Amino acid sequence: MDDMHGGDGALEQSAPAWGVFGDLMSGLLGAFVLILVGVLGVQLELATTLEAEVHKRRVEEQRREALEKALAVPLASGRVTLDGGRIGISGSVLFALNSAELQPEGRQLLQSLVPPLVAYLATRDELLMVSGFTDDRPVLDSNRRFADNWELSAQRALTVTRALIEGGIPSSTVFAAAFGAEQPVASNADEAGRARNRRVEMAPVPRNGAQAANTEAGAEAAGG
């Protein structure tokens, strides 16, 4: 009988130990579940982000291809470039040095761009931003029409914008921006580089991004 009572005592003493072990295992299992949920959440977020990025790149690629198709003829002439969705025209084609008056060749070139641009914009919820750029040399204007490169680039952008509107692009789908000597595409140390920097660019932008683009251009102008 004593042996039997002794055995019962041992079982009673081991019971709390098993209870502590069970609580420990339950805690570890709960922590593992929380970690697993967290890992799955991170993976889901990464997958969503990756999918959004892939969609964005696909849209940009389709946009680039649509522009290339629309501007096939002007691009083939070599007088227009397309880089990253930005349509570039050399300033020397459009304007004489330190002038904002369109040259006949420049006006003719802009007229040739109107039909493909109208067709492109008609199928997309985008606006056309016309941006003027200059080199970093001071404006040499005996008539003092332009105080600096900001004013010159602004007037050139407006001149091109008005020419496009006169050619048939709806005024509600185009706006002008000025960048002066900011954002050069070549060094201003030599004439070849300065000639490349004197340019006008046209870039389709989402309607909801047009205000941000205008704000950025205005901020740069204020900073200059």
Q: Are the C-beta atoms of residues 217 and 179 closer than 8 Å to each other?
A: yes
Give 148's pLDDT tier (boundaries 50, 70, 90).
very high
On the question of pLDDT at 103 being above 90, the answer is yes
Average pLDDT of every residue of the chain? 82
Task: Please report, as a single letter, which amino acid is at residue 44.
Answer: L
**Taking the CB of residue 184, how many other CB atoms lie within 10 A of it?**
18
Query: What is the average per-residue pLDDT within 74-92?
Result: 88
Domain with 165, as residue range(s), is: 71-223
Query: What is the average per-residue pLDDT within 38-66?
Result: 75
Give 29's pLDDT tier (boundaries 50, 70, 90).
confident
- Could you tell me the CATH number of the domain that includes residue 177? 3.30.1330.60
Query: What is the average per-residue pLDDT within 46-73?
Result: 76
Residues 76 and 33 in one domain: no
Residues 111 and 201 in one domain: yes
Q: Above pLDDT 70, what percent of the chain?
A: 79
Count up the domains in the chain and report the number.
2
- pLDDT tens across 184-221, in order? 999 999 999 999 999 999 999 998 865 555 555 444 44
The pLDDT value given to residue 33 = 75
Domain end among 66, 99, 127: 66
On the question of pLDDT at 4 being above 60, the answer is no
